[in-house]
Structures are given as C-alpha cells and as structure tokens.
Amino acid sequence: MHLIERYIITEVARPLVVVLAALVAIFASYTVGRYLNDAASGAMGMLTALHVTGYRVLIALDVLAPVAFYLSVVLGIGRLHHDQEMNALSAAGVSPMRILASVALLAFPVAVAVALLSVYVRPWAYASAYALEAQAKTDLDVSHLQAGRFNINPDNDRMILPEQIDTAGNRLDNVLIYTRSDHRTHLTIAQTAHLADPDPAHPVLELQNGVSYSLEKRGPADRTLEFGDLTLILTPITVTADYKRKAASTAQLAQSQALPERAELQWRLSRGPTTLLLALLAVPLSRTPPRRGRFANMLPVTGVFVAVYYAGGVTKNLIESGQLPLTPGMWWIPLLMMVALVVLLRHRGGH
C-alpha cells in the first residue's frame, strides 16, 4: 500500500472510531435506561437488563456501523478539501479515482463486517434477546423479583408480592399473585410457589398450601378454592410474526417462499453492498465549495443517507405486502446508488 492510500485511510478511520463509539454510547444509554426501569419495577433482573442491552446494541450495529462509516468518510475527505490538501494532492497527480480507490480499500472490509453482522449476528442477537425477555415475562424468574415489593409486569397485568425469596431453591415463600383478564380478577395466596417449567412457551407454576379467589367483574359468579397443591398453566408468551422473522436464521429464511421472509432475507443480504456504496458516494459528496465551512454540505449528505434508509424500509414493507416483486426487490436501491455514484464522479471530474 502506497503512502497516499495509507494517508487517506488514516483520515477516514480516525473519525470512524469516535463516531461509532458515540453512536453506540447514545443508543446503549437510551436502551439501558429503558430496561433498567423494568428492573426497578421487578419486571426484569438487573443482569438480564444488561444482557438484553448488549444484544440490542449488537442488533443496532448493522445500522450504526454504516452510519458511522458514512459520516467518517464525509468528515475525513471533507477535511482534506477544507484544508486544501485535496488540491495539493491533485497538483501532485493524484486523481479523484485514486482517492475513491483508497476509500474503497477500507470500505470493503467494513462492508463485509456489516454483512456478517446482518446475516449472522443480528438474528442470533434477536433470538437471544427474545429468550431473555420472554423468560422475564413469565414473572417468576426469582433472580429479578424483589421480596416485600409489588413486582408488576405491565405486559400481562400480573403482580407478585413475595414475603421471602429463596434464589437457591427457585422458590417464593408467602406469596400473593394478582392477575386480571377481561372478565375476571384472580387473587392467589400461597405458602410457597415454584416455577416447575420456566419455558416461555408453556410455563408451569406449582403452589402449595393456599387459597385462590376468582372474582367476576360483572356478576355474582365468584369462586374460592382452598388447596394443598395447585398447578397453574400460565399464559404462554406470544411471539409476533415480525419478531420470528428477525430471529430466524438466514438459512431458514432462504428456505421459505413467503414474501415477508424473502423481504427480510433481501434486507439482510443488501446491508453489505449498501454500506460499501454509501461510503463511495460520500467521497464526491464530501467536496465542499470554496470559501465555505467544513459542514456546508451536511444537508445533502444527510439527505442522501436518510433517502437510502427510508427507501429500504419502504421497499421492504412493499415486498412483504406483495406490492413490489421480488425482482429487483431490495436490489433496486444499490443499483440506483451505483448510477448516482457514476453520475457524481463524471460531474465532478472523476472520469
């Protein structure tokens, strides 16, 4: 690698680390705040909240990384234009195509990393985050419940008040469980409670020595049950179709002929090429007019990025609903970006 290429790559890589770290920090702080609220209310354990936040950051990286790299190219190449270094390079015989090729040397491995994130890491992170969230929604993972407090789960309107918690035995002592449905309110008091099967698909709760009240909201059909041993089949955690697709492996999506699954597959496969083309588009877009500030072109730069990702989201929805054919499907966006890149390079003397 020649000196010019190393210099260009360094100028682009330097802001990449800072911008990506800032975006990840902002996203992580927002996400952890959301889950810490759940932890404070007893709906999720503290360790579970931190783990889910980590998975959510991994999920977001296939968007945050392209954004950070796109901005780093704009900032790095934009600084060279602003400080007249690009004019000096041009006078020394360095062509715009060589600048583009230098950026491509860094853009290609970044695009490969984003593709791997989207194809493999993102669905795994979705599945892992879902498993933790679903386990928390069963309410009786004793690691996140707090003794002597009303532990409320807003997802299923269930409240649990344990007097004591035996984490080693996965047991609640002197527990009150309150649930409600459209027509009835259920109140159960038991000496002990134990989650026999924590599987979110069919959670089973075993209670010993207590009484259960089932109160009808409109009518006199109230029921009281005293029990020595009682087994409750809790309502399973439902998984939306959209979440199933996001957590499905890429191999599973490839075997499906359903339009939503094909749209998700094309979305994943297009992340790498889109990242590469965005970075290359940033090279001609980063050129600032003479005697203008470094950020004079931020409006068109931002507009291009927003347009690309908005078009991706809209296209994915159209494919899922059958309003857009699978060919070209998501791929019209990278094709249009290639055309725009050629036009910009020719317009700005890159041919």
pLDDT, tens digit, 9 for 90 and up, residues 188-224:
999 998 877 666 666 788 899 999 988 887 777 788 9
Total residues belonging to the chain: 351
pLDDT at 25 over 70: yes
Predicted local distance difference test score (pLDDT) of residue 63:
92
Whether the pLDDT of residue 1 is over 70: the answer is: no
pLDDT at position 232 = 80
On the 0-12 / 13-18 / 19+ scale of CB atoms within 10 A, 28 is middle
Q: For residue 65, what pLDDT band results from cuts at 50, 70 and 90?
A: very high
pLDDT at position 142 is: 64
How do residues 263-311 score in pLDDT, each as one tens digit?
999 999 999 999 999 999 999 988 776 666 666 677 888 889 899 989 9
**Domain extents in the chain:** 3-136+241-347, 151-233
Distance CA 197, CA 188 (A): 19
The residue among 323 and 196 whose pLDDT is bigger is 323
Rounded Cα gap, residues 201 and 104, in angstroms = 47
Joined tokens for residue 59: 């999920």
pLDDT reading at 182 higher than 70: yes
Q: What is the pLDDT of residues 224-244, one digit of tens each?
A: 989 999 888 776 666 566 678
Residue 148, pLDDT > 80, answer yes
Per-residue pLDDT tens for 97-136? 889 999 999 999 999 999 999 999 999 999 998 888 777 6
pLDDT tens string 66-108: 999 999 999 999 888 877 888 888 888 888 888 999 999 999 9
- Residue for token digits 């992170």? 125
Residues with Cβ within 8 Å of residue 190, at least 6 apart in sequence: 174, 175, 177, 207, 208, 209, 210, 230
Q: What is the pLDDT of residue 270?
A: 95
Q: Is the per-residue pLDDT at 45 higher than 80? A: no
- For residue 351, the model assigns a pLDDT of 40
What is the chain's mean pLDDT, rounded?
A: 85
CB atoms within 10 A of CB 245: 21
Q: What is the pLDDT confidence band of residue 350, given thresholds at 50, 70 and 90?
A: very low
